[in-house]
Each structure stands twice: as C-alpha cells, then as structure tokens.
Amino acid sequence: LIDVREPAEVALGVIPTAHHIPLAALHDALVSLSDQDFEAQYGFKRFAKDEEAIFYCRSGRRSRLAFAQAQELGYTHVRHYPGSWIEWEARTKTPVSKS
C-alpha cells in the first residue's frame, strides 16, 4: 500500500501498513534510485514489477496518476484505491497517526 500524498497530508494520518512516496517523487523513486538508495530513502524495499502495489491519496485522483505512471514503467500488478483516504477515514472514523 503506497500513500502518494504530500508529507503534510500524511502527518494527519495514514492507512495502517502504508508506505509513503509523494507522487512528485514516484517516477524517480521507481526509475532512478538503486534498490539500496530506495530502501534508505523510503524505509522499505522497492516492490518488483510483478508484485502487487496499491496506490492511494486523499481522494483517488493522484493515486490514479501513480497507477498510470507505474503501469507505463512496466509494473504489471498495480492498482489504485479509488476512494482513497477520504473513503477509508469515513469508514473507520478513527485516523491512525503516523508514528
């Protein structure tokens, strides 16, 4: 689960188990960084092109862009969460703060 919101938005809460890569950094993160640099910068191992990854943002718009970028780069098992943070927060009514 990849959160593509901006850091200020992430500070308001995240979906549990999500990792954060801002949309503006996604292309470089997937293309330019070595696996080692990716893990050092983002705190998790880069997902392989054939592994599942689900993108979300605040409303679904940026996650759809992230999904399209990843597909164009050859990632075959990517999806986006259309309702994203707004839907998840409404369903849980208890945002989880990032620790």
pLDDT band at 94 (very low <50, low <70, confident <90, very high): low
Active-site pick, 57, 66, 70, 78: 57
pLDDT at 46: 96
CA–CA separation, 95 vs 88, rounded Å?
Answer: 9
Question: Which tens digits make up the pLDDT trace of 11-68?
Answer: 999 999 999 999 999 999 999 999 999 999 999 999 999 999 999 999 999 999 999 9
pLDDT band at 97 (very low <50, low <70, confident <90, very high): low
Instruction: Say if residue 86's pLDDT is above 80.
Output: yes
Which residues are paired to 78 by β-bridges?
Answer: 53
pLDDT at 57: 97
Instruction: Say if residue 95's pLDDT is above 60.
Output: no
57 is catalytic: yes
Q: Which residues, other chains included, contact 94 with Cβ-Cβ below 8 Å and sequence gap of 6+?
A: none
